[in-house]
Amino acid sequence: MTKWYMQIVPFALLMIPGSLFALEPQSSYELLSEELKQMQDDDFANPGMATVDRGRELFQKPGFNGKSCASCHGDDGEKLDPERIAAYPIYDEEHGPVTLQSRINQCYAYHQEEFPLLYDADELIALETFVRHRARGEKMNVDVSGPMREHYEAGKEIFHTRIGQRDMACVHCHETYAGQRLRGQILNQAQINGFPIYRVTDGNIMSLHEKFIGCYGTLRAMPYEPGSQEYIDLEVYMSARGNGLPIETPGVRQ
Amino acid sequence: MIVSVIAKLFNFRPVLTALVGIVGFSLSGPIHGEEYVEWEAEGLAIPEPLGGLQGDPQRGKAVVIDRDRGNCLACHLMPIPEEPMHGTVAPPLNGVGSRLSEGQLRLRIVNEQRVNPNTIMPAFYKRPDKYHRPHPAYKTTVLTAQEVEDVVAYLMTLK
């Protein structure tokens, strides 16, 4: 029989902290089938474009005070700066980290004098899809220095914590074993540059926080609510982790 | 609060599909209400069968394949060619019954994190309160003590 410590040797390598290896960000697009790649690339075939169009309609629809998003940001949102969009979530003295969706909701409430919508309301997802689509091709560039650091670290902690009865952490599937096969599926890095994404299997658009809830479900864990501090921190971390990847919204996924 | 979250969860149509849709791991499946049995490791093995139970290799094989139970094939290549799509995340388990002793196998199934704290492999039988934020429907060990013993018995046949 081998000595007990001999059994540990093969694992010693595995225990080197993952942070020693810098992760080279890779878009999940790279792992799509040719068919799905073509679908995503072709605006006429990409079913997510229907949500972009719905977002555009909402963008041009007058709010309670008669103003529409378009009144301030241009008919097709052309006055919005793609570089700024790619920098979300941003840090704001008053609200802390602000995701793009929260920013849109703020405009909706303050500038159109409407009641703010619930996080991940259909309208907000459509508006976010439209706005992000405006910045397609722009490289994600989220600044996590200064007071944002704390939220980045909190998100990173969540990413590295085992959750649920399935007892795994995001980092296991999406970093340690990214590129390997889990059953039939090649594990991606969970980069979020394609969100909101169109899911072919359920024929619907899916927001980032809905995807988080889905992953919590898969792991048989208790999810947080969309727009919760935990998911916002996770979004901050995962956005910065993918800095440099081009925005692909609306991404198409299986 | 918990109720509202669940209610909310089920309002999200895409989310529901996502729960079911992901490769290998589904949310459905039986939940057991079995009492947790304490176990003790000696070095990197658990020499005694959980609850003194006797394992059955045939049942063990079924647990290994079942996506709601062991789902070992999600990560491991195993000599079960009739099942499609084995994972490449983990080392093949062919011949593991001659590489490791029964007690060593038991610890690995019960809690591989004792061997390698960073492992992706879930602990199939750690104290239920040691799982972090389990969904209320899943506040138990993954496998029952009997199922653990069945899987050990099955792995012992892989010579």
Any domain includes B125: yes
pLDDT at residue A160, rounded to an integer: 98
Binding residues of A for heme c: 69, 72-73, 107, 170, 173-174, 215
**Of A101, A133, A165, the domain-final residue:** A133
pLDDT(B141) > 60? yes
Question: Within this chain, do residues A225 and A246 fall inside the same structural domain, yes or no?
Answer: yes
Residue A146 sits in the same domain as residue A113: no
Q: β-strands A96-98, A90-92: how paired? A: antiparallel
CB count in 10 Å sphere of residue B118 = 16
Give the SS3 label for residue B72. helix
Domain that holds residue A99: 49-133
Q: For residue B99, what are the domain limits?
A: 35-156
Cα dist from A78 to A59, A97, B14, B15, B137, whole Å: 12, 25, 31, 32, 48
Q: Work out how many domains chain B is built from and give that number.
A: 1
Which stretch of A17-31, A180-194, B4-18, B64-78 has the lowest confidence by average pLDDT? B4-18
Catalytic residue (choose from A18, A172, A215, A230): A215
Q: Which of A84, A112, A133 is the last residue of a domain?
A: A133
Question: Tokens 């309208």 appear where?
Answer: A123
Residues A190 and A249 in one domain: yes
pLDDT at residue B34, as a whole number: 81
Query: Is residue A219 flagged as an active site residue?
Result: no
Q: Specify if B29 maps to a domain.
A: no
- Is B14 among the domain residues? no
CB of A89 closer than 8 Å to CB of A150: no
* Residues in chain B closer than 8 A to A163 (CB atoms): 132-133
Domain assignment present for residue B101? The answer is yes
* Contact between A202 and B2 using a beta-carbon 8 Å cutoff: no
If asked whether residues A126 and A16 sit together in one domain, one would say no
**Is residue B51 in some structural domain?**
yes
pLDDT along chain A (254 residues), means of 10: 49 45 87 97 98 98 97 98 98 96 98 97 98 98 97 98 97 96 95 98 97 97 98 98 98 96
- pLDDT of B55 reads 98
More confident residue, B8 or A141: A141
> Quick check: is B9 in a domain?
no
Choosing from A77, A99, A133, the residue where a domain stops is A133
Please give the tally of structural domains in chain A: 2
Q: Kindly report the backbone phi and psi dihedral angles of residue B147, in degrees, each rounded to the nearest multiple of 5, phi listed first.
A: -65, -40
pTM of the model: 0.90
> Are A147 and A123 contained in the same domain?
no
Minimal C-alpha gap between A179 and chain B (Å): 9
Q: Are residues A128 and A95 in the same domain?
A: yes
Q: Is residue B19 part of a domain?
A: no
Considering the domain boundaries, does residue B119 fall inside one? yes
**Residues A124, A149: one domain?**
no
Identity of the residue in B23, B89, B134 whose CB atom sits nearest the CB atom of A164 = B134
Residue A206's domain is classified under what CATH number? Answer: 1.10.760.10
- Do A172 and A248 sit in the same domain of this protein? yes
CATH code for position B101: 1.10.760.10
